[in-house]
Structures are given as C-alpha cells and as structure tokens.
Amino acid sequence: MSPTRPTLADVAAAAGVSVSTASLAFSGAGPIAPATRQRVLDAAVQLDYSGPNPLGQQLRRGRSGIVGVVVGDSLGRSFRDPVSIQVLDGLVSTLGPLDLGVLLIPGSSDPAGPAVDPLIETAAMDVAVLMWGGTTDDPMLGALRRRGIPAVIVEGKKADDVASVGIDDRGGMRQATEHLRSLGHTRIATVTLPFNRQRNEGLVDEDRMTHLEWEITKRRLGGVTDAGVTPVAVYETPASLVEHGRSAGLVLLSGDDRPTAVACQSDLLASGVVLAARELGLRIPQDISISGFDGLDLPWLAPDVLTSVAQPLAEKGAAIGHAVEDLLAGEPPTSRELPVELRIGTTTGPVPA
C-alpha cells in the first residue's frame, strides 16, 4: 500500500498555523507575514506536499480554467488544414500565459448527425470559441447562450452578445478578382468553401444558391461580385482540402468553354485546381489563371507560387485569445477585424489570346 498523500491540513499542523493561513501561503494573496509563509513552505517540503489541487482552486474561484474551442469540422480534416493549425497555435500561445487550457470540440461534419456536440451541452468551460464561419442562429451558439457561457465567433456574423474576430475577407476576395479583371479575364469561375452543414460537392445551381448560410463563404462570394464579376460557374466543396480543389478543377477545366481564370476561396482548393490543370495539360498561367486565399507557403506546389490573399494567421489566433481574456475580465463583447494583403505569384497572367 502506498502512503497516504499529505493534505493542506497536514502542512498547516506541521507549521503550527490554521488551514486558511496555509492556503494563503500557497496562493500568495492576503496578509501573511513572510516568516509564517516560509514556515508553511518548509513544512510542505518536509512532507513532500506539492500544493493545493489546482482544479479545486479553480472551482472555488467559480472557473474551470478551460476554453472550449469548436474547430468547425471533424478533427481529422481540421488538422490537415494549415490554416486551422496556425490559428490554433496563435490561440494556444496566447492562452497559455493566462493559465488557460483548451478543450477541442469537433464541429458537425455529418449532416445526418446532431448539430450540437454533447460536449457543448455539458463540458465545463469558461468561454467558448466557434472557430469557423458560424451564423448568429447557429445551434451551437444557441446552446452556449442557454448555458450562459460567453462566446467568441471567428469569421462569423457579428452579434451584440458575442465577441467576434475576423478578417476583411470580402475585401480580399474583391482585390483578387479585380486583379484577374485587370489581366483581361471576364470568364471567371469560383471554387467555394461549404455553403452549410450539408457540405455538398459540385456545380451550384440557382436552387443551391438559396441554401448559402455560412458567413465566410457568403462574404467571399460577395467579394467576387463586388469586383463586378458574375462567375461563369460556382463549384461548392465540402471542405478546404487539396483533393476537393482537384475535383473542382477537373470539372471546371475539362470543357471547351472552360473559364480563363478560377478564383478560389482557399489556397488548398486553389492548389488542387493547379494540380487538375497540370493533369489536363494546361499551362499556368498561359492557359488558365488561378488565385487562392490564405497566403500559405506551399513549397510542394513548385514551380508554381499561388497568387493569394494573405491573412495574418498567427495574429488572428492571438486576437481570439485576447478576446477570451477580455470576456474573462468582464469586458463587454467587442469585434476585431484584421487586414489582408493580395500577393501576386506565378499562377495568374494575361487572358489567353
């Protein structure tokens, strides 16, 4: 049998003080003489006592020390996306010094499954972060509101009772499309992120356009039309992955009436279109121009370098962390929007003669 683990009461008895005084010695708060604190700490060393249970401390303060992060898709797909990884890295790097941990919660990836993960309904968390494209009537946000848990929406629709962090993605998509127009392109197709949790894949018709719900997709499509372009084709993908961009490219670029340019809503989708163009024997950018969004470093796509709208991924993660910090400090919800930048690569050029 292992010896009984020493308790705070054991330390207090050994130091000749009350339990409340011993607790103050460990917390560093409240009036306690330095000599008394040192006596308590010396007794703890002699008894091999490591300190009060951190979970108990957190619960006494009325907090769990946990931030729930809903990643927006299955964890498997999210961790194949460098955008998600870099934003999460910036978020976690900001929360760590605040002594906050992260509970990763998968988003709804099965249209036939529940819209709200059970963890959102039951898990202890001080603040929740909805990472990707939520709407103000999102059932996950509704569950958090019922529980009274403050929330941060990332790249979703703004609401008075939640904090929001986003980028000027509509303006960035407009810049990319204007760049294509400046090169003489008028037959421009676009490859989009999902429209809603159904995550369809294929060419979009008028009926499907009425089901456009997710804000990030809606804004980026709006950026195309802001540039004065009505796309000759819209192809919806179920996720931002290379294979979905390749599938889109094979459909869009196979016909005789193919577009001369494709504006994609992510770099992974754009790189998939590049791979499809290569398979079809098309030269980039002589035969087809392709633009992306995110500003990722994709050395495996060489010799091509995507023309892309770059967003500050790590800084966005840090901004989410600071929004969490503000909510925990009792500050009212605020909105933060970060700028984007068009970077010209090798994948866009003049319209073919």
Tokens describing residue 24: 């103050």
Determine the pLDDT at residue 26. 72
Handedness of CA 69, 210, 193, 106 (dihedral sign): positive
Rg of the chain in Å (alpha carbons): 26
Statement: residue 54 has pLDDT above 70: no
SS3 109: coil
pTM over 0.85: no
Other CB atoms within a 10 A radius of the CB of residue 90 amount to 20
Determine the pLDDT at residue 1. 36
Determine the pLDDT at residue 24. 76
Q: What is the Cα–Cα distance from 144 to 148, expressed in whole angstroms?
A: 6
Determine the pLDDT at residue 61. 52
Contact by Cβ (8 Å): 176, 307: yes
Q: What is the Cα–Cα distance from 196 to 217, expressed in whole angstroms?
A: 9
Determine the pLDDT at residue 47. 85
Statement: residue 29 has pLDDT above 70: no
Q: Quickly tell me which residue has 């006494």 as its tokens.
A: 60
Task: Give the type of residue at 265.
Answer: Q
Sheet holding 127-130, edge to edge: 101-105, 66-70, 127-130, 151-154, 163-167, 335-338
- Cα(first)–Cα(last) distance of the chain, in Å? 85
Closest to 347 measured CA to CA, from 267, 284, 260, 273:
284
Q: Is residue 87 classed exposed, middle or buried when 0-12, 13-18 and 19+ CB atoms within 10 A define those classes?
A: buried
Per-residue pLDDT averaged across 84-104, rounded? 89
Distances (CA, A) of 9 to 13, 16, 21, 25: 6, 10, 10, 13
Of 163 and 107, the structure prediction assigns the larger pLDDT to 163
Determine the pLDDT at residue 7. 82
Q: What's CA 136's distance to the chain center, in Å?
A: 17
Determine the pLDDT at residue 353. 82
SS3 234: strand
Per-residue pLDDT averaged across 94-103, rounded? 88
Name residues whose C-beta falls within 8 Å of residue 110's C-beta, 6 or more positions apart in sequence.
none
SS3 222: helix
Share of the chain above pLDDT 70, in %: 89
Determine the pLDDT at residue 2. 42
Statement: residue 319 has pLDDT above 50: yes
Task: Give the type of residue at 14.
Answer: A
Of 167 and 18, the structure prediction assigns the larger pLDDT to 167
Task: Give the type of residue at 5.
Answer: R
Q: What's CA 207's distance to the chain center, in Å?
A: 29
Determine the pLDDT at residue 134. 57
Q: Is residue 98 classed exposed, middle or buried when 0-12, 13-18 and 19+ CB atoms within 10 A define those classes?
A: middle
What value does the mean pLDDT of the chain take?
88
Statement: residue 51 has pLDDT above 80: no
Statement: residue 204 has pLDDT above 70: yes
Closest to 104 measured CA to CA, from 76, 80, 83, 144:
76
Contact by Cβ (8 Å): 320, 260: no
Statement: residue 81 has pLDDT above 80: yes
Per-residue pLDDT averaged across 153-162, rounded? 85
Statement: residue 183 has pLDDT above 90: yes
Q: Per this entry, what is the length of the chain?
A: 353
